[in-house]
Structure 1
């Protein structure tokens, strides 16, 4: 996976998290590049925020449809005709 494919604005997928490889820091230091890790974690957080917002909207819409369906079933057959 290239850096551009992850940071180009597309939706983050679970495979991006599973397969992500971070560059190691330069000579004389050990570990991962902290700036790259922070950028990736920021991206994960943003995508999770969007997913949670989408989930909340869908849950609200689901509840609205269920209420409408219950009201429609509760109405007599004479009221169901369009």
Structure 2
């Protein structure tokens, strides 16, 4: 029964952007999540990862993710700007065409 409720909760999650085609169960990784991730230290005398190296790597990954998300936001803003310009141009062309047709019909 718990599995059913977990799955239904996943389905209700909102999609990141309207044009995102990933499933609702997919959670994108954000820079703050990478920076906040901590690993358990290994017990004394056992092999493990150096926490300092792991932290440096996570900071590097978080920086790369931040750069990617910034570039994505810039490209979306540019796309919106181009779409708006195209809509304005199409409206101007339609108005000009209507004006020409009106003048021709008056003759």
Q: CA RMSD in A?
A: 3.0
State the secondary structure of the residue aligned to 2:88. helix
Question: What is the aligned partner in structure 2 of residue 49 from structure 1?
Answer: 67
Q: Please report the TM-score for the alignment, with normalisation by the length of structure 1.
A: 0.59
Pairs within 5 Å for 1:1-82:
13-14=29-30, 17=33, 20-24=37-41, 27=44, 33-75=51-93, 76=95, 78=97
- What is the alpha-carbon distance in structure 2 between the residues aligned to residue 53 and residue 22 of structure 1? 29
- Structure 1: gaps spanning 5 or more residues: 1-11
Question: Hey, what does 1:4 align to over in structure 2?
Answer: none
Instruction: Give the gaps of 5 or more residues in structure 2.
Output: 1-27, 45-49, 99-107
How far off is 1:17 after superposition? 1.1
Taking structure 2 as the reference length, the TM-score comes to 0.47
- CA separation in 1, counterparts of 2:54 and 2:42? 10
Aligned residues: 64
Report which of the two structures shows the higher radius of gyration computed on alpha carbons: 2
Give every structure 1 segment of 4 or more consecutive aligned residues whose post-TM-superposition deviation is greater than 6 Å. none
